[in-house]
Structure 1
């Protein structure tokens, strides 16, 4: 499984509490524990939790589909994730799944618990909802993402015109009801939705892409900021649909983790001035004399 691409959840000081909760719910393990960053491993998948402050709140524009093999497994996750949370679609039998429910847990993260078959070995699949001015653009986004990343493919695509499934709001026939795609072997789902939700994509949930070289960093950065995307700070960007990505060279993590705190701090200081991360400038800071 490709763990160079993984989701990042934004927190205001409570990342550790959330990491411990998910490790318990999904029988996972915490793999990094720092005041700023918690990493957890769930079913061999990496999830990053970032204590970034009060600026952003997670919302249901990005949810996480959990593919379950038995009804008991669905119930097990549902009972824990719904406790203290908010039910968005009750756990029930639907035309697309014998047992399914949609819930926002007490930590603000949204989950779709689904009885069905996995298309690969990835059990938890981020699901992007294209709403407001992005409604109707899910397929455009899929094409951008799959042509940007290597080893990508478009899987099953179900349009609303292919069968309504009793959706409460009429949707254009060409809009995406559900689609599966992979970027460099990492699975995602997406959908269009016409409902006037009181939220949209923000930095509360982003995707991290770890890169090996400057050329790779540049390629992703340029592709995702083109045609209406925009650069942010410290390797963050918004793509043309407002979805947030972090393009992070692995060398940055190595230099920031140097046992010499003075060298590591110099790297951090230079990184804080950057939009796109430039490895050469990090190396210069690391090797500079005090």
Structure 2
């Protein structure tokens, strides 16, 4: 059963592959249902995967195989909080290593074009402190692609 509020993500034709990948990488993530077309439709045939219900870190999602009309953009991203460098590296490397691309300041994009922010809690905690601590952490982050926890901790210490 679909939750009251569910994020719907548009894919060309790979919603099931994407959902299975997310479920294999992130905790509290799984594919819960795959729905196939009951008949032929414009641009598709009976039996093709139409939608996939899944969760990413407990967040309910539906992947819709809607064709190539719409693309993902940075206007939507998943922000994944990490507790240490090992966890940061694991998620970042999984996304990049599966056909994704690195960006700046902890952002990366998976092979389907969906954006991810792999964000160590030490960074968000530093930003929440405000003042000089936030300024130092921000300046350190601005030089990074994948976030380096040790460099953020050093910036926080001053």
After TM superposition, the score normalised by the length of structure 2 is 0.90
Partner of 2:51: 178
Q: What is the deviation of 1:174?
A: 5.0
| Unaligned residue ranges in structure 1 (runs of 5+) | 1-117
Q: What is the deviation of 1:172?
A: 4.0
In the alignment, the residues of structure 1 paired with residue 8 and residue 76 of structure 2 have an alpha-carbon distance, to the nearest angstrom, of: 11
Partner of 2:104: 233
Partner of 1:280: 150
Determine if the alignment matches structure 1 residue 129 to structure 2 residue 6. Answer: no
Q: What is the deviation of 1:227?
A: 2.7
In the alignment, the residues of structure 2 paired with residue 123 and residue 211 of structure 1 have an alpha-carbon distance, to the nearest angstrom, of: 27
In the alignment, the residues of structure 2 paired with residue 170 and residue 151 of structure 1 have an alpha-carbon distance, to the nearest angstrom, of: 34
In the alignment, the residues of structure 2 paired with residue 184 and residue 286 of structure 1 have an alpha-carbon distance, to the nearest angstrom, of: 28
When structure 1 is superposed on structure 2, of 173-182 and 222-231 the one drifting more is: 173-182
Q: What is the deviation of 1:255?
A: 1.0
SS state at 1:177 partner: strand
In the alignment, the residues of structure 2 paired with residue 210 and residue 254 of structure 1 have an alpha-carbon distance, to the nearest angstrom, of: 11
Q: What is the deviation of 1:176?
A: 1.9
**Relative contact order higher in (CA < 8 Å, ≥ 6 apart):** 2
| Bigger strand fraction | 1
Q: What is the deviation of 1:191?
A: 1.7
Matches within 5 A, 1:115-126: 118-119=1-2, 122-126=3-7
Kept after mapping to 2: 8 A contact 1:130/1:190: yes
Q: What is the deviation of 1:185?
A: 2.1
Partner of 1:270: 140
**If you compute each CA radius of gyration, which structure gives the higher value, 1 or 2?**
1
Kept after mapping to 2: 8 A contact 1:226/1:240: no
Kept after mapping to 1: 8 A contact 2:7/2:62: yes
Partner of 2:15: 138
C-alpha distance after superposition, 1:185-221 (max 9, x if no partner): 2211112123x52x31110111111122221111111
Determine if the alignment matches structure 1 residue 147 to structure 2 residue 20. Answer: no
In the alignment, the residues of structure 1 paired with residue 98 and residue 31 of structure 2 have an alpha-carbon distance, to the nearest angstrom, of: 22
Q: What is the deviation of 1:150?
A: 1.8
Kept after mapping to 1: 8 A contact 2:81/2:119: yes
Q: CA RMSD in A?
A: 1.8
Partner of 1:85: none
SS state at 2:145 partner: coil
Check 1:172–1:216 CA distance in 2 against 1; reply closer, same or farther (3 A cut): farther
In the alignment, the residues of structure 1 paired with residue 59 and residue 91 of structure 2 have an alpha-carbon distance, to the nearest angstrom, of: 15
Partner of 2:62: 189
SS state at 2:55 partner: strand
When structure 1 is superposed on structure 2, of 141-150 and 122-131 the one drifting more is: 122-131
In the alignment, the residues of structure 2 paired with residue 275 and residue 193 of structure 1 have an alpha-carbon distance, to the nearest angstrom, of: 31
In the alignment, the residues of structure 1 paired with residue 55 and residue 100 of structure 2 have an alpha-carbon distance, to the nearest angstrom, of: 21
Kept after mapping to 2: 8 A contact 1:154/1:181: yes
Hey, which bits of structure 1, 4+ residues long, moved more than 4 A?
none
